[in-house]
Amino acid sequence: MRQRSLIAITAALAAGALTLTACGSRDDDGGSDSGNGGSKGTTVVIGVDAPLTGDLSALGLGIKNSADLAAKTANKQEFVKGITFEVQALDDQGQPSAGQQNAAKFVANKDVLGVVGPLNSSVGESMQKVFDSAKLVEVSPANTGPSLTQGPDWRTKKVRPYTSYFRTATTDAIQGPFAAQYVFNKAKKTKVFVIDDKKTYGAGLAGTFTDEFKKLGGKVVGTEHINPDTKDFSSVATKVKNSGADVVYYGGEYPQAGPLSKQIKDAGAKIPLVGGDGIKDDTFIKLAGAQSTGDLSTSVGAPVEELDSAKKFVEDYKAAGYKEDYAAYGGYSYDSAWAVIEAVKKVVEDNGGKLPSDARAKVTEAMQNVSFDGVTGKVSFDEFGDATNKQLTVYAVKNGVFEAVDSGTYTG
């Protein structure tokens, strides 16, 4: 699913955006009629890229709504004097090619000074060069593939490929081993069957889990790569049953993980399926059925509902009346959008209260030093653009819902 080559129209749009002399909708004296409280000001657009339709829309809509809430909160507070924030959301359907096209659309809109998203690491991979060429900052609340920030050889030599890319979620370099430590040390499982969906996120997560599990003394009794477009996993389920595994680890997302869990148990292997943050959604439980009790998921950060820092976010989200839940990445999406808002504020204040002509480059530069107390805790970025917050949580399916059972950080 990797999309490394840019289509011609993408390159053209990205190149065209570099010729822009100004960003933000202004009137002749540096303002516009869409400012705060009806006064003259500037409209800044925060782009959001996520799967808004299709199998992963439950997560994508939570991303969109949470970023929207951040923009509305900033406007209500007049957090950046003279600036009104708006959100433009585009649907990538979880497809790298669509994400790349969306990136070009954001670049072509001179009012876009930052983008929140995407959900999928493979989609993020397809967008990075487009944004970087246009010096347009991107902050993902959900990408966990280590190579996005540390390069393809991150295991041996970390090199940051794009300085415009940041994320508020921790990476699979931590999430996979964290899950392995829980499964082996606390769940006392010693024989694992590892399955992945061959995509950037799933394969990477399965790989880091496997390395740590073996290092701890666990045994991998089978591996399989599935087609993410199918829902029939009967042959894989049979292999799992015959392998003698006492646990299954799946690198991928809930549309496949749910049916996979159900079919493994239907085949007679009454063992838990464990996955990463990509399966941590109530839809997984619906797809997996009643036998999913005991299945496990890791997810980034601590449970939002249990964080004092998230109480206002939860209240404000409910009060805003969004039809969809904020889901697994709501808090991280709000913080990603707020990071863009903080960077814009810094740039505006440093330029006498107005956006400079090279606002995109300045916002990208300012993002590196953004630091604030967010919904998910302290938000800041290291030299690779990765979140400094490395906390993770293990959730177990109990009584038809995911319940937090352990929270902490990976100890390497």
Same domain? 68 vs 192: no
Query: Is position 281 within any domain?
Result: yes
Give the phi and the psi of residue 156 in degrees, each rounded to 5. -115, -30
Q: How far is CA 228 from CA 202, 225, 231, 332, in A?
A: 10, 9, 8, 26
Tell me the C-alpha distance between 294 and 209, whole Å.
Answer: 19
Query: Is position 158 within any domain?
Result: yes
Tell me the C-alpha distance between 180 and 161, whole Å.
Answer: 28
Residue type at 358? D
Alpha carbon 252 to its chain centroid, in Å, reads: 13
Same domain? 281 vs 336: no
Query: Is position 384 within any domain?
Result: no
Nearest-CA neighbor of 318 among 65, 15, 50? 65
Q: What is the pTM of this model?
A: 0.85
Tell me the C-alpha distance between 21 and 16, whole Å.
Answer: 11
Assign 201 to helix, strand or coil.
helix
Same domain? 184 vs 203: yes
Same domain? 46 vs 120: yes
- Which positions ≥6 away from 28 have C-beta within 8 Å? none
Dump strand ranges (E) for 134-176. Answer: 137-140, 165-167
Query: Is position 3 within any domain?
Result: no
Same domain? 290 vs 362: no
Residue 30 corresponds to which tokens in the numbers above? 């540096």
How many alpha carbons lie under 13 Å from residue 49 in its C-beta half-sphere?
Answer: 36
Same domain? 237 vs 319: no
End-to-end CA distance of the chain: 30
Residue 111 corresponds to which tokens in the numbers above? 């009012």
- H, E, C per residue of 69-114: HHHHHHHHHCCCCCEEEEEEEEECCCCHHHHHHHHHHHHHCCCEEE
Residue 327 corresponds to which tokens in the numbers above? 């889901």
* Count of domains for the chain: 2
Residue type at 28? D
Same domain? 283 vs 348: no
Whether the CB-CB separation of 334 and 70 falls below 8 Å is answered with: yes
Same domain? 332 vs 231: no
Inter-axis angle of helices 200-216 and 121-133, to 10 degrees? Answer: 120
Same domain? 130 vs 69: yes
Assign 118 to helix, strand or coil.
coil
Give the phi and the psi of residue 294 in degrees, each rounded to 5. 100, -15
Query: Is position 125 within any domain?
Result: yes
Query: Is position 250 within any domain?
Result: yes
Same domain? 147 vs 35: yes
Measured over the CA atoms of residue 96, residue 98, residue 100 and residue 102, the dihedral's sign is negative
DSSP single-letter state for residue 388 = S
Place of tokens 């509902």: 305
Assign 206 to helix, strand or coil.
helix
Tell me the C-alpha distance between 109 and 132, whole Å.
Answer: 15
Residue 176 corresponds to which tokens in the numbers above? 């996979």
Nearest-CA neighbor of 209 among 160, 279, 283, 294? 279
Nearest-CA neighbor of 412 among 102, 198, 173? 173
CATH code (residue 158) = 3.40.50.2300
Q: How far is CA 20 from CA 16, 82, 144, in A?
A: 7, 21, 32
Give the phi and the psi of residue 35 in degrees, each rounded to 5. -75, -175
> What tens-digit pLDDT sequence spans the chain (412 residues)?
333 333 333 444 344 443 333 345 443 333 333 333 334 489 999 999 999 999 999 999 999 999 999 999 999 999 999 999 999 999 999 999 999 999 999 999 999 999 999 999 999 999 999 999 999 999 999 999 999 999 999 999 999 999 999 999 999 999 999 999 999 999 999 999 999 999 999 999 999 999 999 999 999 999 999 998 989 999 999 999 999 999 999 999 999 999 999 999 999 999 999 999 999 999 999 999 999 999 999 999 888 888 899 999 999 999 999 999 999 999 999 999 999 999 999 999 999 999 999 999 999 999 999 999 999 999 999 999 999 999 999 999 999 999 999 999 877 7
Same domain? 155 vs 189: no
Range(s) of the domain holding residue 124: 8-170+306-379
Tell me the C-alpha distance between 208 and 412, whole Å.
Answer: 12
Same domain? 188 vs 253: yes
Query: Is position 386 within any domain?
Result: no
Tell me the C-alpha distance between 132 and 214, whole Å.
Answer: 38
Query: Is position 385 within any domain?
Result: no
Nearest-CA neighbor of 146 among 118, 174, 179? 174
Whether the CB-CB separation of 99 and 124 falls below 8 Å is answered with: yes
